[in-house]
Amino acid sequence: MRLFVFGASGGTGAHLLAQALEAGHRVTAVARTPRSLSGHPHLTALRGDVLEPGEWRQALAGHDAVLSCLGSAHRRPTTVYSQGMAAIVAAMQDCEVRRLACVTSASLDLSPAAPLGQRLLIGRVIRPLYRHMYADMAEMERIITASDLDWTVVRPPRLTDAPFTGRYLTTVNEHLPRTRSLPRADLAHYLLHHLDDRATWRAWIEISRR
């Protein structure tokens, strides 16, 4: 496939890029510093910012899917999720690219069955501390689900830099009984290998390490 990737220089995005190229896909990756992306004959690295679509919009035409691993680690107000996704959705509609997969967080809608300690930690500590990030991430999900694209929203738990396992659990439009931290490499693997899985289209996915 021809894949268009945002956030390819981040933790999950770097794994996604490496796995996609290893699988033989052709990838266009948007990055503020494209030199940070490893050279590969099937990789086109574009200098750009998701919030400035004029830099990458025309290059999107002809791709089979867009994958977004956009992220923000700080606690300040941000619009990178919502405005970035609004730009992506508009560009995809204009360029007639329909398949979209993106990453948010299981903490946006924590399962009622999650252990009490986990619910208290996330609900009373983590979400208040990162309230701006979570609010913008929720707005991003609203923009995606309101679109007519063939979208998939993947909600992982806490991500780690542990090695790839290929062992993870997923549910479609429902919560897992409990979630465990997930290697970023496993999240990237799921994103890449379920682009053609129509059961995940126009659905949110919860994922966890086994």
pLDDT by residue (tens digit) across 4-60?
Answer: 999 998 999 999 999 999 999 999 999 888 777 878 999 999 999 999 998 899 999
User: Is the separation of the CB atoms in 200 and 191 below 8 Å?
Assistant: no
The confidence score (pLDDT) of residue 35 equals: 76
Length of the chain in terms of residues written = 210
The amino acid present at 66, given as its one-letter code, is V
Q: pTM for this structure?
A: 0.94
User: What pLDDT digit, counting tens, does each position of 109-143 carry?
Assistant: 888 778 888 888 888 888 888 899 999 999 999 99
Chain segment 73-82, per-residue pLDDT in tens: 778 889 999 9
Q: Specify the number of domains making up the chain.
A: 1
CA-closest candidate to residue 56, choices 21, 104, 8: 8
Give the domain extent around 147: 2-209
CATH of the domain at 177: 3.40.50.720
197 pLDDT band, cuts 50/70/90, is very high
- List the structure tokens of 86: 């609004």
What's the confidence (pLDDT) of residue 4? 98
Confidence of residue 152 (pLDDT cuts 50, 70, 90): very high
User: Whole-number mean pLDDT of the chain?
Assistant: 93
Which runs of E-coded beta strand occur in 129-167? 150-155, 159-160
